[in-house]
Amino acid sequence: MTGWLDAVIQGVLLGGLYALFAAGLSLIFGIMRLVNLAHGDLIVFAAYAILLVAGHLGLDPFAAVLLAIPILFVIGFVLQYVLLNRTLGHDLLPPLLVTFGLSIVIQNGLLQLFSADSRRLSSGAIETASIPLGGGIAVGVVPLLTLLAAIALIVFLNLIFYRTPIGRAFRATSDDLEVAQLMGIEVGRTFAVAMGLAFVVVAVAALFLGLRANFDPTIGPARLLYAFEAVIIGGLGSLWGTLAGGIVLGLAQTIGARIDPEWQILAGHLAFLAVLVIRPRGLFPRAQD
């Protein structure tokens, strides 16, 4: 019994990580209908960026991420403004092709720069610290922080979306591109800010990815797959839905692993397929569109 309960708790915590992977993807798709196939690789890229900042300045990853965030915001802004805006239009294929290409470029670029060795972010004792809950169950501090970070990030993004002028501009642009321009919204710049914001989310995701496990230049596409599944399970366009989607995925994986360790990944995918069959629009689809 304890084992099952443990699987559920660990699954929810793991879901926090998947929600972090997925939040940036959900944000970008929600605002500009851009499916970013390089999202997973961007998380890995950000993890190396944090590693670099931490290594050079001798900082803890938690401090390094604060420095990496503005840098990544600018990289995201420029990437969108200079490259990705050119791919957006009525045709869905160009952004898919370009971000797919970007994914390959990032993977090989990282391979060139950092070699294929697997790396991790180290933050001392906190990595292995845990809080005993009694009954033989304990939760790791890092997994708990991951879930809390995911919740905090979604609260933060929702505040931006629903309480600020730029958030109104995001929603208006997503509703009606043409009329948004009539409001004086410069669509290209608004999308670039959105991508910058997504890169901030990516930075936080990268921090917890690197604290929890090893990473190397090739693991991006698998993170993308989990992120996609979380977004689709939760329903497109809803960030809280994305968190729920991440938790469903995390639960399926830990419960699957509890049944048989070989089933961990498979169970996640099966849960995803089941949701697609039962609720094709996800658990919490946005009311519109």
Does residue number 276 form part of the binding site for other proteins (CB under 8 A)?
no
Q: Which two three-digit tokens encode residue 149?
A: 């970070």
For the CB of residue 185, give the shortest distance to other proteins in the complex, in Å.
Answer: 6
The nearest distance, CB 87 to other proteins, in angstroms, is: 19
Work out how close the CB of 286 gets to other proteins at its nearest, in angstroms, rounded to a whole number: 8
Number of Cβ atoms within 10 Å of the Cβ of 191 = 22
Of 59-67, 72-80, 184-192, 225-233, which segment contacts other proteins by CB under 8 A? 184-192
Q: Does 187 contact other proteins by CB under 8 A?
A: yes
Stretch that binds other proteins, among 13-21, 32-40, 174-182, 208-216 (CB under 8 A): 174-182
* Length reported for the chain: 289
Q: For the beta carbon of residue 112, count every other beta carbon within 10 angstroms.
A: 9
If we measure between CA atoms, which residue out of 43, 2, 16, 22 comes closest to residue 251? 16
Residue 67 engages other proteins in binding (rule: CB under 8 A): no
What mask, x for binding other proteins by CB under 8 A, covers residues 133 to 172? Answer: --------------------------------x--xx-xx
Stretch 218-247 residues interacting with other proteins (CB under 8 A): none
- Residue 194 lies near other proteins (rule: CB under 8 A): no
* Phi, psi (deg, nearest 5) at residue 45: -55, -45
- Say which residues have a Cβ less than 8 Å from residue 155's Cβ, sequence separation at least 6: none
Closest CA to 199 of 60, 8, 41: 41
Checking phi first, is residue 184 left (phi over 0); if not, alpha (psi -120 to 50) or beta? left
- Tokens 């200079």 belong to 82
Nearer to other proteins, 190 or 253 (CB): 190
Binding site for other proteins (CB under 8 A): 165, 168-169, 171-172, 174-176, 178-187, 288
